[in-house]
Structure 1
Amino acid sequence: MENTDKDQSHVLIIGGGLSGALLAINLLRKKVKRKIIIFDTRTQLGHGLAYSTNHLVHTLNNIPSKLSIDPNNSEDFSEWLLSNKKCERESKELYPPRKYFGEYVLCRLNEAIDVGKTHGTTLTFVNDEVTNLQDLPNQVIVSTKNNGTWFGNVAVIATGLSQKSKTDNLQSELSGLIFDPWDIEGMREIKENARILIVGSGLTMVDALFSLKEINHNGSIHVISRHGLIPHPRIQSNPWPDFLKENKAIKTPRQALSIIRSECKKAQSAGFGWQAPIDAIRSSIGELWYKASDAHKRQFIHHLRALWENHLHRCPPAGYDLIKDLQEKGLLTFEASKLISLNKRNSEISARIKRKCATSTQDVEFDHVIIACGMDYDWTHFKNGLSNTLIFNGTVRPGPLNIGIMTNAAGRIIDKSNKLSERLFALGPPLRGVWWECTSISSIAMQAKALCELI
């Protein structure tokens, strides 16, 4: 398939998850006649990896008023839930299923498509994998797996999240023994008393626990991660000043950590809880990261990242209650360990792990393994053809510490030769290396709005 219309009115969006859908919504609402083409391998726009689960037990980790995709209306998601009878009443403690959020985004996209038609803006969905993107002096060209060629004036890389995997080369050997955290149907093969290893202790692990609960699993669950941290519960915090934004003297992660600890103690003394200061500074962390040297960024990654994400990305109360219940029953244990390898032994899996501070490894047997390592932002790790091709061709270059891709502050892509593109942009997770805290729903909504004005 080919779009032969080369009038340069096209905006090509690579990625139809949350980031791509929000950009499309903003472009469709803007009273400028244009053609928008969005590419994705999934059959449903607006869902992506994060919101594709169909199971109601996999919930969002925040309340609806914090998850609106409309920067001008914090209650937009809440209103949609009520009007579509997804909840019976308003609740400040409601943590809706992620499935509902995907439906909400798709609904707003369909509404925007109708608005776009009134001023001649159209959206075309190409359900295909993008394999190449060319940045030429007068146009951009997108090529797809099924021999499609598409021309445009600008292109936006909004490819979303990529799940970490430590077992790509073992999938066939471990078939039936290793599971995706959200694959409840596949997990129904697991015996009730099976010994489970979960690799990763973040919010993806919480999803895995709910999946196991759904199949009535009642065996032992051992969770390993590098630091062995257990998720904190999501407690809605009171307003707190953004003390990092107000303090211009902060230059290093060590300085920031010292001030954050001081503010958390101050909040606890005032009866607010340590969560208030943490929630207040999320956007300022991005500013500090953007201005930091690579040495300071590396220091943050190695020494503070796990602690920061453990305190910021807290799990819904129901998830925390499930963790505590399983621990009290003696079914759930956490350990600071690194997974070295997995090997099949008869009908079991032998996991070679190295405990934190240990000098040697240990082999432990399990019946099944669930990989819940969270998301990968290192573009040099990605296996899909597009990222490899773009890096190889020099169209993009990895961002700081190989995280995401390099752009300027406005999202314009910078290529291998350090040239700023006039036609290529990035949005959402690909900006992780530039801004760090750029993947929350509110952050992506603001990025999409700003980028719409720019292109």
Structure 2
Amino acid sequence: MNAPAWQHAIIIGGGASGVLLAYQLLKNPASDLSVTLIERRPEIGRGVAYHTGNPEHLLNVRVGNMSALPDEPEHFWRWLCTRPDGPMCPDPYCFVPRRIYGDYLAGLIESLTSNGGAARLAVVQGECVSVQEGPAGVAVTLDDGRQFTGDFAICATGHDAAAVNFHCHVDPWTSLSAVGVDRLATVLILGSGLTMADYVLSLLRSGHQGQIVVLSRRGLLAKGHRRVDSLRIEEREVPFGASITVLLRWFRQRAEAHIASGGDWRSVIDGLRPFTQRLWLQLPDASKRRFLEHARAWWDVHRHRMAPEVEHRLGEAIAARRVVVIPGKLSAITPKERGALVRFRRRGCTELSELQVGAIVDCTGLVKDPATSSNPAIRSLLEQGFARVDPLHIGIEIGTDCAIVARNGSSSRRLFAIGPLTRAAFWEIIAIPDIRNQCAELAARLIERSGQTGKGRDGQTSNLRDRAV
């Protein structure tokens, strides 16, 4: 009997999104798909979020909500409890180091290869620089010239770090000691979100003695989690399709009523989570623009919260004046012999303030506009017309089935995208609870499609080595 000839899916990006999709495609033994997983880093499942080795960098979501599998909500908690060193916390309401979650994701791939799935999975280290679609399939080229062909290609490139070239810039994932910054120097951090909190903890842990100044447009800090349950919100209560003004008014009233009855606003936000993607899809375009310009910052600090331990540590540093948070806008950077002279305008002021700093760390968030992406795979898709930026410039345009929309407006049958790259269509698609559902749904569609097209084009045996050119 001939061995099965599988159809071939190429996943570009081996971070959390790529691993979750690969697992969903391969866990079903009846699937007709093989997978090539391409990742430029030496480790799978880490990406930007989970490669950190600092034990103080905690998950921003409680353990109980971080299962990789939508149909097994306690999967991650059970995995933690079976670790050789025992559970790291007493119950699923805890927050564990992000590097531990990276171990968990890497273990998903290891479980596939150890259970006879190695023949259907190839993990390739390299950077994808070109993606092409043709009538017969897709071709993916790496920076070293290797080329892989397949039936589908899925962009799971995750967050795209901004390309910054200003003077004395330090990458937020690089320690100051590694670039020779004096431990007594003042450090300026641009942005006051969750990445800033991580970097402050890294500075404090490394023994940095200089002052840490945080500059952001509004000076808002992410709120902390509390041990509260989600509020049950009925679908019929939610004003789908309403303008952003009506929607926000309804939301505030719902939160105020819950607080008045002794509840916590966090419960209302978490209760709305099952409906946020549908709300975004049905929100008028003008309302989407208004939300992004005027309300997004407040939504983010309430929706994307930090672990209580991180909130406490950061609060202590602010109270001790080790960290100073300034609402304002950067105006100019003048290079000096050691560091730079920074000029900025405080919010509500007309005159400029000055600050001598030894390093500037850009934590303003990751690239939102794919048109400015530094990722060569994304640039390749845009330049060739296989993809286009959405009208809001926050992601590439895709259909509700995750198919990438070309420059001419047609939806691809072979090119797909998942994770943060699809935020224009789904908005809430940067956290594991949302991405896992997206990956499971796309995997089901691809498996069904591969079954409809049969066991290969010529009915002959194929293997992954035949797919590399």
Same fold (TM over 0.5): yes
Q: CA 1:182–1:386 in structure 2 vs 1: closer, same or farther (change >3 Å)?
A: closer
- For the residues of structure 1 that align with 2:397 and 2:6, how far apart are their CA atoms? 25
**Is 2:362 aligned against 1:366?**
no
Query: Which residue in 1 is equivalent to 2:132?
Result: 134
Query: Which residue in 1 is equivalent to 2:231?
Result: 240
Whether the 8 Å contact between 2:161 and 2:374 is mirrored in structure 1 is: no
Amino acid of the residue matched to residue 76 of structure 1?
H
**Quick check: 239-248 or 407-416, which moved more?**
239-248
Q: Could you tell me the percent identity over the aligned residues?
A: 28
- For the residues of structure 2 that align with 1:75 and 1:338, how far apart are their CA atoms? 43
- For the residues of structure 2 that align with 1:282 and 1:254, how far apart are their CA atoms? 19
- For the residues of structure 2 that align with 1:67 and 1:106, how far apart are their CA atoms? 14
Whether the 8 Å contact between 1:15 and 1:40 is mirrored in structure 2 is: yes
Structure 1 residues without counterparts, runs of 5 or longer = 1-6
1:150 pairs with one of 148, 151, 154: 148
Whether the 8 Å contact between 1:28 and 1:115 is mirrored in structure 2 is: no
**Quick check: 285-294 or 357-366, which moved more?**
357-366
**Quick check: 298-307 or 69-78, which moved more?**
69-78
Query: Which residue in 2 is equivalent to 1:453?
Result: 444
Deviation sequence 1:230-287 (CA, Å, 0-9, x none): 2211113223123576324551111111111111111211222111101111242221
SS at match of 1:58: coil
Query: Which residue in 2 is equivalent to 1:264?
Result: 255
**Quick check: 216-225 or 244-253, which moved more?**
244-253
Deviation at 1:407, TM superposition (A): 0.8
**Is 2:96 aligned against 1:91?**
no
Query: Which residue in 2 is equivalent to 1:318?
Result: 309
Q: CA 1:252–1:83 in structure 2 vs 1: closer, same or farther (change >3 Å)?
A: same
Q: CA 1:281–1:249 in structure 2 vs 1: closer, same or farther (change >3 Å)?
A: closer
Question: Where do residues 52-451 of structure 1 align in structure 2 (5 Å cutoff)?
Answer: 52-84=51-83, 85=85, 87-115=87-115, 117=117, 122-164=120-162, 168-170=164-166, 173-174=167-168, 178-184=169-175, 186=177, 189-242=180-233, 246-248=237-239, 250-451=241-442
Deviation at 1:51, TM superposition (A): 0.6
SS at match of 1:163: coil
Amino acid of the residue matched to residue 308 of structure 2?
P
Query: Which residue in 2 is equivalent to 1:3?
Result: none
- For the residues of structure 2 that align with 1:190 and 1:86, how far apart are their CA atoms? 39
- For the residues of structure 2 that align with 1:121 and 1:22, how far apart are their CA atoms? 18
- For the residues of structure 2 that align with 1:27 and 1:249, how far apart are their CA atoms? 33
- For the residues of structure 2 that align with 1:338 and 1:59, how far apart are their CA atoms? 29
The number of equivalent residue pairs is: 440
Amino acid of the residue matched to residue 104 of structure 2?
Y
**Is 2:73 aligned against 1:40?**
no
Deviation sequence 1:292-314 (CA, Å, 0-9, x none): 23321110100000000010111
Q: CA 1:335–1:244 in structure 2 vs 1: closer, same or farther (change >3 Å)?
A: farther
Whether the 8 Å contact between 1:350 and 1:366 is mirrored in structure 2 is: yes
- For the residues of structure 2 that align with 1:267 and 1:181, how far apart are their CA atoms? 38
Deviation sequence 1:301-354 (CA, Å, 0-9, x none): 000000000101111111111222122212222121122333321213212222
- For the residues of structure 2 that align with 1:86 and 1:42, how far apart are their CA atoms? 29
**Quick check: 12-21 or 285-294, which moved more?**
285-294
- For the residues of structure 2 that align with 1:417 and 1:8, how far apart are their CA atoms? 31
1:9 pairs with one of 7, 22, 36: 7
Q: CA 1:79–1:303 in structure 2 vs 1: closer, same or farther (change >3 Å)?
A: same
- For the residues of structure 2 that align with 1:346 and 1:89, how far apart are their CA atoms? 48
Q: CA 1:263–1:70 in structure 2 vs 1: closer, same or farther (change >3 Å)?
A: same
**Quick check: 211-220 or 61-70, which moved more?**
211-220
Q: CA 1:67–1:293 in structure 2 vs 1: closer, same or farther (change >3 Å)?
A: same
Whether the 8 Å contact between 2:6 and 2:34 is mirrored in structure 1 is: no
Deviation at 1:389, TM superposition (A): 2.0
Q: CA 1:249–1:212 in structure 2 vs 1: closer, same or farther (change >3 Å)?
A: closer
Deviation at 1:88, TM superposition (A): 4.5
SS at match of 2:392: helix
Q: TM-score, normalised by structure 1?
A: 0.91
**Quick check: 304-313 or 49-58, which moved more?**
49-58
Deviation at 1:426, TM superposition (A): 0.8
Deviation at 1:151, TM superposition (A): 1.0
- For the residues of structure 2 that align with 1:339 and 1:243, how far apart are their CA atoms? 44
- For the residues of structure 2 that align with 1:245 and 1:196, how far apart are their CA atoms? 50
Deviation at 1:360, TM superposition (A): 4.6
**Quick check: 232-241 or 415-424, which moved more?**
232-241
- For the residues of structure 2 that align with 1:355 and 1:262, how far apart are their CA atoms? 32
- For the residues of structure 2 that align with 1:293 and 1:8, how far apart are their CA atoms? 42
Deviation at 1:152, TM superposition (A): 0.7
**Per chain length, whose mean CA-contact separation is higher, i.e. which structure has more relative contact order (CA < 8 Å, sep 6+)?**
2
Q: CA 1:370–1:245 in structure 2 vs 1: closer, same or farther (change >3 Å)?
A: farther
Q: TM-score, normalised by structure 2?
A: 0.89
Q: CA 1:139–1:245 in structure 2 vs 1: closer, same or farther (change >3 Å)?
A: farther
What is the alpha-carbon root mean square deviation over aligned residues? 2.0
Amino acid of the residue matched to residue 165 of structure 2?
N
